[in-house]
Structure formats: structure tokens, C-alpha cells
Structure 1
Amino acid sequence: MAESYSGDAYCVKCKEKREFTGEVKVSESGRRMAQGICPVCGTKLNRILGKA
């Protein structure tokens, strides 16, 4: 079951912070990261989260 995330992240293409919803993924090193899509331009957004 994937954990979901709702918040904001910086869009590199729009050069603004955007609200998005996405899922939380854990990297090999144990970092948690939320990944989603920018609602304006469709670019992939990433936000590094704190440890659980």
C-alpha cells in the first residue's frame, strides 16, 4: 500500500511553488521522497521528506 502525500513543491519549469498530490517512495539509502505531477505544466515534481 503506497503512502500518499499532499503539499507543495517547487516546479523547475514554472519557477514557482505548486500544490500537488503524489505518492511517497523510499530510496535505497532510506530517504523518503514525494513524487507527483505539476498541475499546470505536467512536469514531474519531487519533494524530499523527513524520516518517518
Structure 2
Amino acid sequence: MVCAELGFTWVELSILDDPALYDQYWERIPVVLVDEKIIEFWRIDPERLRGALSE
């Protein structure tokens, strides 16, 4: 929803399809990265995500 509001595209990946992603993120799902930096995990706060995308 936040990405659509701001005109950003996003990609959803499954950790089950990539062993390296599984090893790195299995205990943080869901996890949101912006420019390869973790912004949020477990609970996604729309305002924090909006702020990260606006930087």
C-alpha cells in the first residue's frame, strides 16, 4: 500500500526459494529492505516505511 501511494515498485521474495535468504532472514519474517538495508521486520510500520522510502 505504501509503495503504491509513493509510486515505488517492490519485489516479494520467498526465503524457501533461496537457501542464502533462508539462512539470513528466517527468524525475521516478514522483513522489508530498502536499498539492501533492513528497514523493518516482524511488524511493518507504514509510517517508518514511508519515511525510509522518502529519504
TM-score bin (small chain)? under 0.3
Structure with more of its chain in strand, by fraction: 1
Length-normalised TM-score, structure 2: 0.25
Whose Rg is larger? 2
Length-normalised TM-score, structure 1: 0.26
Higher RCO (CA < 8 A, seq sep 6+): 1
Structure with more of its chain in helix, by fraction: 2
